Amino acid sequence: MSLINKIVDYPSCTIIWDEVWKIPEFKKLQTTEQNPYWHGEIYVSRHIEQVVNEIYKLCPIETSDVFMSVGDGSVRWQKRFYLMLAALFHDIGKGVTTKWNDEEQTWKSLHHAKVGEQITRKLLWDEDFTLREIICSLVGNHMKPLYIYDSDNPIHRVIRLSEELVPFEWLLTLKTADCQGSIIKEYDGWREKLDYAKEIAVKYECLNKQYTFLNDYCRHKYFNENIEYPVIDIVDKDFNDDFCVYFMIGIPGSGKTTYRNTNLSNLPVVCRDEIRTEIGIKGEKPKGTKKQEDEVTNIQNERILKYARQKQSFIIDATNLKLMYRDKFRQMLYPYKPKIVYVYIEAPTYNETLTRRKGQIPKDVINKMRESFEFPKLYECDELIIEKQCNNISID
């Protein structure tokens, strides 16, 4: 039985708490304390229970909704289902990140949202892909709506969040439940801050859908340059869909090479593993010394720039798991104005991923890669292609 099926009562769309506290990552939250100024409920587990209860209130359903496959009842049930699970997982990262701060004499949980997203993805890896990534998106972003108010560019923040795989309105609902489920010593204006973010989303028509740019180049330019307002009517004759750079993304054993050989076989490839073999580094999954790896990097970058200057479409075949690595490639390519296409590949199950690399890469290495993986975002690229369990999803 999947983890979700164990912890959810589907007819009532509620959490089965006895099952939740059997999971080690959640059990730890029963003894994880929080800053009492913001959380008079003290323990993370109590806070999570209160936030889930707030979602029940904010997302009421009717008894018949569970049986509805279409219509308002289905919409109500799905929203409650997703947000209930997001509320359950939203602070799971605190079990790892919470530390005592001597200077402030209180508990701090730095980067708990990002870490929580990674833990959530690990626990739900073999669940339905769309379900998993919607929950992960909500968990990873649940703190961000409050930061919009004091942001230097609040419009950009809202529009970027609208690019997620979940409506911005859902994120606002989750944050509302999070605030209502916290016992704070003094009201800090959180409701007005969330209303401010909602007003921006309504004005730019991206509360329940992505912001609509006038053309692909406007979108590309807005997310790659420091532009304050998104309403820019620009056409650039050098920016077109004919020159594409494909970033293969996925942990080892996901099937990236198979995909590229099947679907993109006519394009040249820049691949570190292949370059290592070319310069004499031996092994099925070769790894060189620092000097050798520097040489591999130089050759890799030379080839990337050669294809970019020629405006020739090509593939960057690497794991590309971290945003910082993807950004380095994007910055290198930006002057040449290619269409950036991310191709994320995932094997049917995690066990199959491990089986494919058994004897080549240690299991603990792949585990660490998965746990630190930063899922590609739509605002990073011009097109995101996802292949999971033989189901292809193309998101422009």
**DSSP codes joined into one string, 127-149:** S-HHHHHHHHHHHHHTTHHHHST
pLDDT digits (tens, 9 = 90+) for 337-372: 899 999 999 999 999 999 998 888 889 999 999 999
Question: Both tokens of residue 67?
Answer: 């049986």
Q: Which residues contact 378 (CB under 8 A, 6 or more apart)?
A: 163, 164, 165, 210, 384, 395
First CA to last CA distance, the chain: 34
Helix extents (H) in the chain: 3-7, 17-20, 24-27, 44-58, 71-89, 94-97, 112-123, 129-141, 144-147, 154-161, 168-180, 190-203, 216-224, 256-263, 272-278, 290-309, 323-333, 350-356, 363-372
DSSP class of residue 389? T
pLDDT of 395: 47
In this structure, the strands spanning 98-101 and 106-109 are antiparallel
pLDDT digits (tens, 9 = 90+) for 126-183: 999 999 999 999 999 999 999 999 999 999 999 999 999 899 999 999 999 999 999 9
Provide mean pLDDT across the span 184-211.
Answer: 96
Instruction: Identify residue 302 by its one-letter amino acid code.
Output: E
Q: Regarding predicted confidence, which is higher, 236 or 279? A: 279
Report yes or no: 342 and 247 within 8 Å, Cβ to Cβ. Answer: yes
CA distance to 45, 88, 109, 237, 308, per residue, from 93 (Å): 12, 11, 8, 46, 40
CA distance 55 to 42: 20
Report yes or no: 163 and 379 within 8 Å, Cβ to Cβ. Answer: yes
CA distance 334 to 336: 5
Report yes or no: 104 and 95 within 8 Å, Cβ to Cβ. Answer: no
pTM (2 d.p.): 0.91
pLDDT of 391: 44
Provide mean pLDDT across the span 67-79.
Answer: 86
Q: Among the listed ranges 16-30, 67-81, 164-178, 279-293, which one has the minimum average pLDDT value?
A: 279-293
Confidence at 103, pLDDT banded by 50, 70, 90: confident
Q: Regarding predicted confidence, which is higher, 227 or 394? A: 227
**DSSP codes joined into one string, 32-60:** -B--TTT-TT-BHHHHHHHHHHHHHHHS-
Q: Which residues contact 207 (CB under 8 A, 6 or more apart)?
A: 162, 167, 168, 169, 198, 201
pLDDT of 358: 85
